[in-house]
Copies of this chain bind each other. A is one copy, B any other.
Amino acid sequence: MARSYNFSPGPAALPEAVLRQVQQDMLEWGETGASVVEISHRGPEFLEVARQAEADLRTLLAIPDDYAVLFPAGGATTQQALIALNFASPGQRVDYVVTGHWGRTALKQLATVDVNIAASSEDDGFRTIPARASWRLSKDAAYVHVTSNETIHGVEFRPAWGPVPDTGDVPLFADFSSNIASEPIDISRYGLIYAGAQKNLGPVGIAVVIVRRDLLERAGHPRADIFNYASQLRAESMLNTPPTWNWYVLGLTVRWMIEQGGTAEFDRRSAEKSALLYEAIDGSGGFYRNDVDPAVRSRMNVPFFLPDPALDAPFLDGAREAGLIGLKGHRVLGGMRASIYNAMPVEGVRALVGYMREFQARHG
């Protein structure tokens, strides 16, 4: 058995160097005589892990000082609910731009506010992002919410679509779960960025919230202390016991990304890897198909379809035999999907493209 190339959408492949470090530390970590998963989150050893992870994340993403960073347990969907509770008053207007499955899921977390769908590409099957000029934004909205990259539909805000949308005095909030750290981000354009860690930042079970500090003064909803971002910031994300192991693996992954060259280098690699894959699809004479508008094709998640769904199972079986896993598309879309996050080396994409050609030669 050898390690496969793992194209899972999240939980996703981690850098092998990170896994080897985690493996080595599993019974005894540092000078503690215990695993990092067994020690107190309030002891000096773990506090240093947490401090270093934040410092490294600030370096990696060039986070300005007037932005706070939270490390909550769980995933991005929980943050979608907490955003409304923290930054909108009950019944207040919030603007949502829906460009795929996760943007639509976000709407289910908004039971007590007045949701305005400012734009949606649902009618065209989430293959585009509506032009900025067509968005119907509200002047009095608490925030505007976008999904920077749609993991399932493979749609990403790219420079070919346009610059980061200008929303005037209304802060722009963005779900960056599946493309954070894949290229430099101008965080000052956003009021808040959040991401589940399990794609580009590390393991599942922890998220990251980057928020402009002045926004934390908003009253929001009456809410549980544990749901209050300002309380969590005062408690350094330790209002209750945080997911320490996940935090530590996130820290190792962020450090690995810095050592690899940071977001500029991952920008270069993402361009190379995604170009290889889209060229293989577009150059297959229609055997493989990706229907997303080329201006907004995701560099992280590449959904593609075979000419006949009956070929899906043989494609997946052959892929697994070739050491390529995690390629099955999400159930809402079907087909295939290759997720090529920062931990996926270009060699993995070359192996996939080679397998795709070989499969087409046999079944085309």
Residues of B within 8 A of A16 (CB): 27
Of residues 107 through 125 on chain A, the ones whose CB sits less than 8 Å from some CB of chain B are 108-112
Pairs A-B, 6 closest by C-beta atoms: A205-B243, A4-B33, A81-B224, A73-B74, A77-B240, A23-B26
Asked whether A234 is an interface residue with its Cβ less than 8 Å from the other chain, the reply is no
Known contacts A8-B34, A81-B227; can you find 19 more A-B pairs with CB under 8 A? A3-B28, A3-B34, A11-B38, A11-B241, A16-B27, A23-B26, A33-B325, A39-B326, A77-B239, A80-B224, A80-B226, A84-B224, A105-B240, A108-B225, A110-B224, A111-B222, A112-B222, A205-B245, A205-B246
Q: Which residues in A have some Cβ–Cβ distance to B below 8 Å?
A: 1-4, 6, 8-14, 16, 19-20, 22-23, 26-28, 31-35, 37-43, 72-78, 80-81, 84, 105, 108-112, 196, 198, 203-206, 222-227, 239-246, 249, 323, 325-326, 328, 331
Once the chains are docked, how many angstroms separate the CA of A203 from the CA of B206?
14
Contact B8 A78, beta carbon cutoff 8 Å? no
Once the chains are docked, how many angstroms separate the CA of A12 from the CA of B36?
10
Once the chains are docked, how many angstroms separate the CA of A33 from the CA of B281?
26
Contact A109 B224, beta carbon cutoff 8 Å? yes
What would be 12 A-B contacts, judged by CB atoms less than 8 Å apart? A1-B31, A6-B34, A12-B38, A20-B27, A23-B27, A39-B325, A77-B239, A78-B240, A81-B224, A111-B222, A111-B224, A205-B205
With contacts A38-B6, A40-B11 taken as known, whether A75 is within 8 angstroms of B73 at the C-beta atoms is yes
With contacts A111-B224, A226-B109 taken as known, whether A32 is within 8 angstroms of B4 at the C-beta atoms is yes
Residues of B within 8 A of A225 (CB): 108-109
With contacts A34-B325, A112-B222 taken as known, whether A74 is within 8 angstroms of B74 at the C-beta atoms is yes
Residues of B within 8 A of A74 (CB): 72-74, 240, 243
Residues of B within 8 A of A77 (CB): 226, 239-240
Residues of B within 8 A of A239 (CB): 77
Once the chains are docked, how many angstroms separate the CA of A102 from the CA of B44?
23
Residues of B within 8 A of A28 (CB): 1-3
Nearest neighbor of A112 in chain B, beta-carbon distance: B222
Residues of B within 8 A of A109 (CB): 224-226
Once the chains are docked, how many angstroms separate the CA of A323 from the CA of B34?
10
With contacts A23-B27, A239-B77 taken as known, whether A223 is within 8 angstroms of B111 at the C-beta atoms is yes
Nearest neighbor of A72 in chain B, beta-carbon distance: B74
Min CB–CB distance A265 → chain B (angstroms): 22
Once the chains are docked, how many angstroms separate the CA of A32 from the CA of B4?
8
Min CB–CB distance A228 → chain B (angstroms): 9
